Amino acid sequence: MNISFEKIPSTLDELKAMPEASLKEPEFGAALFVAAMMNYKDNPDTAISMLEYLKGPAGVSVYEKQFIRDRLSDGKEYVVRSYFAGTSPENDYTPSVPYTVCPEKDAASEEGGRIRVFMRSSGADSPRMIRMRLKASTGEWFIEEEMILSDIRIPKSMDPWA
């Protein structure tokens, strides 16, 4: 599924106003996670408040906040950008507008109200996973676990061997 954003939301209210914020499909939450994390460099508190919304009743743990801080510090925000179509190490993971992500649910993995959604990073050799959990009473899919912030190939501008 391709999901495009004309603008990256910069506040929680902007994120909630997006059609994907209905969270009625598991891919919606995965796509919005990438959009939310685009805010982390300039406004970590906003990014975390967006993630709180996307995690639903589970909320964001102290461990998750530390993990995100560790993964996106030291100029590594390019990891998030790598999930947008048109990015590559050669163009320093510069996305084009509209910002398009391509989350794909693994229908075979659906079990007990959980499903895996895979995202492709232009800097990694294999897709990365976000596990979504269904809140049956509302039909919304919330992020249960994300594994998409792992290291990838560095941008060409940061590569001393380029």
Domain layout of the chain by residue ranges: 3-153
Provide the residue count of the chain: 162
Residue 128 exposed, middle or buried by CB count within 10 Å (0-12, 13-18, 19+): buried
Write down the pTM of the prediction: 0.95
The mean pLDDT of 27-55, rounded to a whole number, is 98
Given pLDDT bands bounded at 50, 70 and 90, which one contains residue 87?
very high
Report pLDDT for 53: 98
Say which residue the tokens 């492709």 belong to. Answer: 120
Contact 119, 148 (CB under 8 A): yes
Confidence of residue 154 (pLDDT cuts 50, 70, 90): very high
Q: Does 142 score more than 90 pLDDT?
A: yes
Task: Please provide residue 98's backbone torsions phi and psi, each rounded to the nearest 5 degrees.
Answer: -70, 150
pLDDT of residue 101: 98
**Cα torsion at 132, 64, 16, 124 (round to 10°)?**
-60
Q: For every residue of the chain, which 3-state class applies, written as one string?
A: CCEEECCCCCCHHHHHCCHHHHCCCHHHHHHHHHHHHCCCCCCHHHHHHHHHHHHHHHCCCHHHHHHHHHHHCCCCCHHHHCCCCCCCCCCCCCCCCCEEECCEEEEEEEECCEEEEEECCCCCCCCEEEEEEEECCCCEEEEEEECCCCCCCCCHHHCCCC
Give one word for 139, left, alpha or beta, with left for phi > 0 and alpha for psi -120 to 50.
Answer: left
121 in Cβ contact with 128 (< 8 Å) = yes
Mean pLDDT over 76-85 rounds to 97
Q: Whole-number mean pLDDT of the chain? A: 97
pLDDT of residue 162: 86
